[in-house]
Structure 1
Amino acid sequence: MLLTLLPAAAGAGNAVPQERFQILRVDGSPLQVHLQRPSTQGKVPLLVYIDGSLCIPSTYNQSVAWLQTRLQEESPFALAVIEKPGPTNPPLNKEGDIEIGPEFKCSEEFRRYYTIEQRVLDHLRVLQHLNRKAAWWNGELLVWGFSDGGRIGAQLAAYYPNTRSVALVGFGGGSTMADSMEAMVCAVPEKHAECRAATRAQMDEIRKAPVPTRDWMGESNTYAAWASRLDAVEANLLRDLNAPLLVVHGERDLSVPVASARRLAERMKGSGVVFRYREVPAMGHSLWGTPTAKETEALHQDILAWLLGKQG
């Protein structure tokens, strides 16, 4: 079965040419950064877009292409994408679309470095660099995360002291991924007990040996990556968030059960955080999985408005 995605149109609607630069992790391995800025003289906030776990370039995400056309509107901002480690450029079919088929492979670099914790550190490392070098940045951070990027974004927003606003999409956050996976994988009632036992045994094996050389449910998902997700409950951090938080989840998300997002919304009550939960009817595990293009556009506009401080 093939998963077909539409690649982002690099450079579409750019206010200024995209900057690509490299900085080093503490072990000397490279981090690739994509950056675009509006052509304004004043300092602007930085919006960081964080993609999900699939080992293709983050810049292929259609939401990145959408954001590239919005840098120079009434409330300008800069856009940064801190690339996943060693992404694989996917093949294109004759229509020019991306096809992720059974022969697709993740790089050894991706498998070695991709965990939630490492991705959080990667983003903090880039912010450290920009804090020192980017004279155009006002120091404020806007975080937009999708799927695994929502998990990464939750931690990044919590740990960066000048986070101004946060929008997290399709990530759950209210229950452990272990509970969510068990509920999702074992949804067939007649095999419920047997499936739960097997799934729990698999997850225990991952916890005991969180290695990057083995995977579960696709090679993007190494044991190391799974171990960084299984027992995390982002609500534990988000209840102390010092920035407005928007959470968006599709009612028909088949990758991250909507029950986890609903649980997050319950847990955010009484936290004192400016919080909004939006559950989108008929949407799957993507902002682009809505019934109509009009709904997709409206969702993107609403999320960006939230991030830019228009929470009314």
Structure 2
Amino acid sequence: MGVLLLLALVSSPATAGNAVFHDHLQVTRVDGSLVDVHVQRPSSKGKVPLLVYIDGSLCIPSTYNESVVWLQGKNEGAHPFALAVIEKPGPTVPALNAEGNIEIGPDFNCSETFRQRYSIDQRVLDHLRVLQYLNRHASWWNGELLIWGFSDGGHIGAQLAAYYPQTKAVALVGVGGGTPMADSMEAMVCAAPADTATCRDSLRRQMDEIRAAPVPTRDWMGQSNTHTAWASRLDAVEANVLRDLKAPLLVVHGERDGSVQVASARMLAELMRGSGVVFRYREVPGMRHSLWGATTPQETDALHREVLTWLTGRDDDAALR
């Protein structure tokens, strides 16, 4: 099957950016375990909005995501903001080759902590808990939330935006959101086989097994994707909650996305019509699963600037350089 790494793909080129943040916080969950939080604050005085970047499902640290690296240093200027990454549970630090690129080979393993704790639901709770903590303790935050979610991070970001009333702007990349992921899986996995009906029957049995036993000890399509994680994705349709947003929403999807069907994003755009939400759908010709899957480096940079402008309301291009 050509989509065995669905939602576990590296969201960027294989360079190891490993963004460096000013603050490393640890926030307790209700059971006493810790959520790692990385924050980069602007040098300006006074209170600023908080931009939260939410990475996809691959079990490496989110600070290695190239979009996070790109965002560093962009939070100064006329519209300053603080940048935060609320880390996945127990990420595995990847090995680097001689060129400094990430290598995820056959010996790479997700940690037991990641496998036990990672799901869309748990990640949403982790983000809400951290926002509660920052509301109380971050004197630099004005309470406004900006959300940038990619892939699994888009599923998380959609719910976070719906459940956090002070959300001011949302951008979701490579997320779909208009149809259940179970439907997208059928369409992608069973597109090539001659006996499509047999393929769909087999796939539906596998997904029913996941629903019946959503356990973290079994994988489906890669170590980053336990039955627990899949059970939190399969039947979700983000349009159900995004239609009630008060914040403006930008959805960016690659026309050649091989991990999340573009048809799902198109359906989301259709479902958002008449909702009253300030909404823009941006389908990028030739782009694959992430902004880093654009056709040229120049387009990649322009797309990042477009998303950031949507979130911060900037119109001064020079401030983004």
Q: Equivalent residue for 1:174?
A: 178
Q: Which runs of 5+ in 1 are unaligned?
A: 12-16
State whether structure 2 residue 151 is matched by structure 1 residue 152.
no
Q: CA deviation at 1:191?
A: 2.4
Could you tell me which amino acid in structure 1 is paired with residue 215 of structure 2? Answer: V
Residue 296 of structure 2 is matched in structure 1 by: 292
Tell me which residue corresponds to 1:7: 16
For 2:272 and 2:223, locate their aligned partners in 1 and report how far apart those are by CA, in whole Å: 34
Query: Residues 66-215 of structure 1 correspond to what in structure 2 (within 5 A)?
Result: 66-215=70-219
In 2, the alpha carbon distance for the partners of 1:64 and 1:132 equals: 25
Question: 1:137 Cα shift?
Answer: 0.4
- Measure, in 2, the Cα distance between the counterparts of 1:288 and 1:128: 32
- 2:146 is paired with a residue whose SS is strand
Question: Which residue is 2:55 aligned to?
Answer: 51
Q: Offset at 1:18?
A: 1.4
TM-score by length of 2: 0.93
- SS of 2:24's equivalent in the other structure is strand
Q: One-letter code of the match for 1:99?
A: E
SS in 2 for 1:165: strand
2:18/2:65 contact within 8 Å kept: no
The aligned amino acid for 2:25 is: F
Aligned partners of 1:103 and 1:50: how far apart in 2? Answer: 26
Taking the aligned partners of 2:177 and 2:19, their CA distance within structure 1 comes to 31
Number of matched pairs: 307
Partner of 2:66: 62
- The structure-2 alpha-carbon separation of the partners of 1:186 and 1:263, relative to structure 1 and needing over 3 Å to count, comes to same
Aligned equivalents of 2:70 and 2:43: distance in 1? Answer: 18
> In structure 2, what is the Cα distance between the partners aligned to 1:23 and 1:137?
17
Report the residue type matching 2:253 in the other structure. H
Q: Which runs of 5+ in 2 are unaligned?
A: 316-321
Q: Is the 8 A contact 2:193 2:199 kept in 1?
A: no
The answer to whether the 8 Å contact 2:259/2:289 transfers is yes
The structure-2 alpha-carbon separation of the partners of 1:221 and 1:9, relative to structure 1 and needing over 3 Å to count, comes to closer
TM-superposed CA distance for 1:74, in Å, is 2.1
* CA RMSD, 1 decimal: 1.6
Matched, 1:241 2:245: yes
**Higher RCO structure (Cα 8 Å, ≥6 apart):** 2
Give the match's secondary structure for 2:198: helix
Match of 1:266 in 2: 270
Task: Provide Cα deviations, 1:82-108, integer angstroms capped at 9, x if missing partner.
Answer: 000000001111111001122210000
The alignment status of 1:281 with 2:288, answered yes or no, reads no
TM-score (structure 1 length as normaliser): 0.96
Q: CA deviation at 1:7?
A: 1.7
